[in-house]
Every structure is written in C-alpha cells, then in structure tokens.
Amino acid sequence: MDEVFARRDVIDNATLKRLCLPSNIQGALQALSHLSAIATTGTLLWLTRATLWAIPLFMLHGILINFLYAGQHELSHFTVFRTRALNEWLGRAFGFALFYPRTFDLVQHVAHHRFTQDWQRDGELARDRYTLLSYLVWMSGITYWYTRWRRILRFSYGRITEPYLPIKRHAEFIREARLHVAGYLIVLGVSTFLHSWDALLLWLAPMLAMKFVHQLQNTIEHLGLSHDPNVLINTRSTRTNAITRWAAWQMQYHTAHHAFPGVPFHHLRELHEHIFTRRGTSPPTMTYLGFQIQVLRAFAHGKTEKDYRDDRAWIVHD
C-alpha cells in the first residue's frame, strides 16, 4: 500500500521517496529478533513448566506471540522486505498462527486505511458501538477470539457478509479459510496422535490468555478520536518505551503510518520527526495507561460510545 493520506506539503518528495524504501536486512533483523524471542521464551517455558517460573514466562511468551500481529500488519503492507515473496509467505505463516488469514486481513486493512473512522466502510469498525461491558469483554480478548474463529468457520462454509469485502474475491477468502481449518485440524490430529499438550502450552493457551496486553495497542490507535477523514486528527500515536516499540514493530508512530502507509516500520520514527516534530506540531498522543483510564471515565455512569459525537474527539489527553 503506497497511497498518501496526508498533505504532501508536510514532507518533501525526495525525503519521502527515501523513507519508502524497504530493506531485506532491516526486515530480517526485526522478524528474526521477534521470532528468536518467542523461541527463547517458549523453550524456557517448556523447561520450567512444572515450576513457578513458568507463570511469568507463560505471560511473556503469550505477549510476544500476540504482537506478531504487528509483523503481520507490516507484511500486509509489503514494507518489511524488499523481496515481495518474503512479505507474502511470512505474512501467511503469521496469519495462520494468529487465526487471522492474510488475504482477509490485507483486504480489510486496505479498507481501514482508505476509509479510516468511516463507520460504513472502515473494516475495523464493523462492530456495535461500545458500552462499558462490551469494551471490557473486547479488551479481555473473549469477543476478539470469538469473532475471528467464527469468521474463519463462516468463510469456510462459504458465507461472507462483510460489505467491505469485494464479491470478486470471495472465492479467495473461502479457499483461504478452508486451508486454515485444514491446518488447524492437522495440528489437532498430530497432537492427539502423539498425546502431546505442547501446542496448547506453547501456542494456544499463552496467546489466548495474554491477548488483553495486545488489545492495549489495538484500542488506542483510533478510539475516542474524531471520525473526520483527516488521518492527522483521527489517528493516535503512543508514548511508550523502546522495548514496546520493538515488540509492536514501531506501530506506536501510528499517525505517521496512516499518513504515509508505504513507509516501512523502521523509518516511522524519522517520518514522525519530519511531519510533526520538525514542524513544531504533534499528533493526538497518549500513554497506554492514560488512555485506558480516560476510556473508563468516558464510559462511567452508564455512558456509551453512542453518547459522544462523531465529529469531535472525546478522549484527548492523559
């Protein structure tokens, strides 16, 4: 995706062209470091599975697995590697592990970028407006996983109802879902045959249990901002530390990413500096904790997302 969703006068063309160049080396360093971290926590978790050390390792392992979606997201933009096939096949591997088929994710995400905060056309807004209860259940991961598993099964049965998915690609989504179901059944069959709980311990259980941590990133990016089509005001960036930025593949510079989605993850900090810092401006920005506190306050006393106007931000500072 190389569209531009912000004014070109915020950055010169030569700089933007340079920043848009993906790198096989940078992509490999990020992908291998993330996968190596998962391999390390997984190995330690297996070795300590009968001890108390397994608890923090289980949590860290699950967080790292969930944040693979940051990698899948970038791979869907084809910006991780200069070699296109590497983006394609690693993205499919990540999508399988995360129950998030790549082709569906890619098409949904294109709709999200082109129609950010548009209730009718943004693929990520295909939901009811939040109440306090529905928001907390979503944050827990319960409805997150339910909607993903249900969608894969529904697609595999040939039923596609999402309006943002073009009819001409329905056959692709159905075939992809069926391949995912077949793959999961193979994992189940092999585990049963070997009487092994490894897939549950090292994959499913930590991923499901720790989804709530990744939801901090998912919810902060747009919730509570204006539904105006201007991405410089309808998309939020995040103040956090270097480790968390590494885990999220620099997606905390989310406003810059939405403004110029063709810029690879490893250039987002520099892009942010060009379009905001050097111009003496800043995008909507909050910390994870500050954002969650403001959301809970906004939903206090029975209020819901319907009680706030779409044309103005209702979560603006921490």
DSSP 127-169: SPPP-HHHHHHHHHTHHHHHHHHHHHHHHHTT----TTS-GGG
> What whole-number distance in Å separates Cα of residue 34 and Cα of residue 76?
17
* pLDDT of the residue at 2: 58
**Whole-prediction pTM value?**
0.95
Q: What is the band of 283 on the pLDDT scale with cuts at 50, 70, 90?
A: very high
Residue 312 lies in a domain: no
Residues spanned by the domain of 227: 8-307
Residue 5 pLDDT exceeds 80: no
Is 317 among the domain residues? no
198 domain-assigned = yes
Helix (H) or strand (E) holding 227: none
Strands (E), the chain: 237-238, 285-286
Q: Of the given ranges (122-126, 254-258, 291-295), which has the lowest mean pLDDT?
A: 122-126
With respect to residue 32, please indicate whether it lies within any of the assigned structural domains. Answer: yes
How many Cβ atoms are within 10 Å of 266's Cβ, its own excluded?
20
Minimal CA–CA distance to 202: which of 48, 53, 46, 71? 46
Structure tokens at 207: 């991923």
| Number of domains observed in the structure of the chain | 1
Residue 93 lies in a domain: yes
Give the model's pLDDT for residue 1. 58
Q: Is 205 exposed, middle or buried (0-12, 13-18, 19+ CB in 10 A)?
A: middle
